[in-house]
Structure 1
Amino acid sequence: MMAVLSINTDVGEGFGVWGVGDESALLAEVTAANIACGFHAGDPDILRRTCDTAAELGVSIGAQVSYRDLAGFGRRFIEVPPPTLVNDIVYQIGALQAFARIAGTEVTYVKAHGALYNAAARHEGHASAIVEAVGLVDPALPVLCQYRTRVWELAISAGLLPHAEVFVDRGYTDEGLLVARSHPDALLADPAAAAARAWEIVGTASVVSVDGIRTTVLPEQASAVALCVHSDTPGAVEIARETRKVLERNGSAPVPIGPER
């Protein structure tokens, strides 16, 4: 049986006068919105506006949680004590839940952002903080993360549902993790190539790394696969649109991400 597929993107990543433009064109092409919750980006006005737009378009809302790092856009590792990080994540999810409720919808999943996402692949304390926070708020919320990472393993052990996430527009290491953004092949910005690779990943459960090594990035029988298109990748709207077309042509139309209740 084919896994349930979704396409997600990071949105609402402005702050104050550094606002974001109209993201409705991108949100119209995806099925899930990872909304910044105020720690790496996002303020109350942006949270409310973004939740309203996602709700209007029938896009599921996910809490994109981060280190407390507005200055670094959440892309710097911060050695936060795990108990504090748990509370930081609970705080962020709760803020987004309030605005989602006002928009007539709800938060249906959680995904870490930037440095926290990458650190949780191996960092025991920070991976466990993500899992503990989600379990405290709502254990029915899926956690978007990469397969075989520490956060994936801990989520399963805790009885949570991880959704295996793959990246349509990013380069991979030989270990199946993301290469640094400074790498010359960090981004895949050609819409047709990105969409073709997305379908290849779904079909083979693997990806070719930037060094030419094929590596496994999905479970053999994944129940759910989340395909990410970063909103700040050049041509993001076209990449998401082409990816959606390829999935639909192959009989696997992407759907919103829902909680497991």
Structure 2
Amino acid sequence: MKIDLNSDMGEGFGRWRIADDDGLMDTVSSANIACGFHAGDYAIMSRTVQLAREKGVAIGAHPGLPDLTGFGRRTMNVSDADMEAMLVYQVGALQGIATRHGHRVTHVSYHAAFGTMANADEGLALRLARAIAALDPELTVFSMPGQLTERAAEKAGLRVHTLFLADRAYTTAGTLVPRGQPGAVIHDLAAVQARVSQFLEDGSVTTIDGARLPVKARSILVHSDTPGSLELARAIRTQIEASGATLTPASQITD
């Protein structure tokens, strides 16, 4: 079986850095690159794309809301037209940088509140998916399974790659426990390893309420801003390889 391991990267700004992108790039198979709205800038984007190309890591756009102070995790009162324009602006910027470095953007993964807003509005989700298809119909959309983003991408004729979030707690409805609630973000290495083992063994996760929830996914996501993210990613990669699965960029998983 082929499994993708991906992480959000390039989420610093100017001289500030959020995570060890160099270390993560040696560990993951796909990178979701911030495009300058919630984090990142032209220099960081360029460096991250170049590093990904050198390491053979697939890249995707990680568009967010224009909220550096809130790291894109606060919803905003903006129109659907503005959301579409933000999306196209960010994906297009990364496509241009990727072309400059001889690399190619292969997927789109919404960041935080941007994704939350898309998953709360069927019409918006479909509008965004159609905008992605207009940019490049070969792009894949990353989504948690069962969300409006997944269904909208399929309606727009796009390929969807579903995710298992190793460092976030799940509700019994299959959504994430909101950040700020106790246990929403999982920092403990042993706890993350246990969750990944369960996912690799039977495709499920234990929810915050103790229920066993099926998770249909072929990719594991580690948030780079989770404390100890590099250690978590390295441990997960070891688990993937020990299970007999092959670490593979999402863009190369077609079955």
TM exceeding 0.5 = yes
Amino acid of the residue matched to residue 125 of structure 1? G
Quote the offset at 1:147 in angstroms: 0.7
Preserved contact between residue 60 and residue 106 of structure 2 (Cα < 8 Å):
yes
What is the DSSP-based 3-state SS (H/G/I as helix, E as strand, rest coil) of the residue aligned with 1:112?
Answer: coil
Match of 2:48 in 1: 50
Match of 1:243 in 2: 236
What is the DSSP-based 3-state SS (H/G/I as helix, E as strand, rest coil) of the residue aligned with 1:153?
Answer: helix
Pick closer, same or farther for the CA change 1:185–1:257 going to 2, 3 Å: same
Pick closer, same or farther for the CA change 1:259–1:248 going to 2, 3 Å: closer
Identity %: 41
1:194 to 188, 192, 195: 192
Pick closer, same or farther for the CA change 1:198–1:129 going to 2, 3 Å: farther
Preserved contact between residue 7 and residue 30 of structure 2 (Cα < 8 Å):
yes
Match of 1:231 in 2: 224
1:92 and 2:90 aligned: yes
Preserved contact between residue 12 and residue 18 of structure 2 (Cα < 8 Å):
yes
Aligned counterparts of 1:260 and 1:169: Cα–Cα separation in 2: 23
Quote the offset at 1:80 in angstroms: 2.3
What is the DSSP-based 3-state SS (H/G/I as helix, E as strand, rest coil) of the residue aligned with 2:108?
Answer: strand
Pick closer, same or farther for the CA change 1:205–1:26 going to 2, 3 Å: same
Amino acid of the residue matched to residue 146 of structure 1? M
Match of 2:214 in 1: 216
Amino acid of the residue matched to residue 75 of structure 1? R
Amino acid of the residue matched to residue 42 of structure 1? G
What is the DSSP-based 3-state SS (H/G/I as helix, E as strand, rest coil) of the residue aligned with 1:7?
Answer: strand
TM-score, normalised via structure 1 length? 0.90
Aligned counterparts of 2:205 and 2:253: Cα–Cα separation in 1: 28
What is the DSSP-based 3-state SS (H/G/I as helix, E as strand, rest coil) of the residue aligned with 2:61?
Answer: strand
Pick closer, same or farther for the CA change 1:92–1:259 going to 2, 3 Å: farther
Pick closer, same or farther for the CA change 1:165–1:65 going to 2, 3 Å: same
1:121 and 2:119 aligned: yes
Q: Which moved more, 1:183-192 or 1:83-92?
A: 183-192
Quote the offset at 1:260 in angstroms: 8.9
Amino acid of the residue matched to residue 164 of structure 1? T
1:136 to 134, 144, 150: 134
Aligned counterparts of 1:15 and 1:246: Cα–Cα separation in 2: 32
Q: Which moved more, 1:27-36 or 1:153-162?
A: 153-162
Amino acid of the residue matched to residue 65 of structure 1? P
1:159 and 2:157 aligned: yes
Unaligned regions of 5+ residues in structure 2, if any?
Answer: none
Pick closer, same or farther for the CA change 1:195–1:104 going to 2, 3 Å: farther
Preserved contact between residue 206 and residue 212 of structure 2 (Cα < 8 Å):
yes
Unaligned regions of 5+ residues in structure 1, if any?
Answer: none
What is the DSSP-based 3-state SS (H/G/I as helix, E as strand, rest coil) of the residue aligned with 2:48?
Answer: helix
What is the DSSP-based 3-state SS (H/G/I as helix, E as strand, rest coil) of the residue aligned with 2:247?
Answer: coil
What is the DSSP-based 3-state SS (H/G/I as helix, E as strand, rest coil) of the residue aligned with 1:239?
Answer: helix
TM-score, normalised via structure 2 length? 0.92
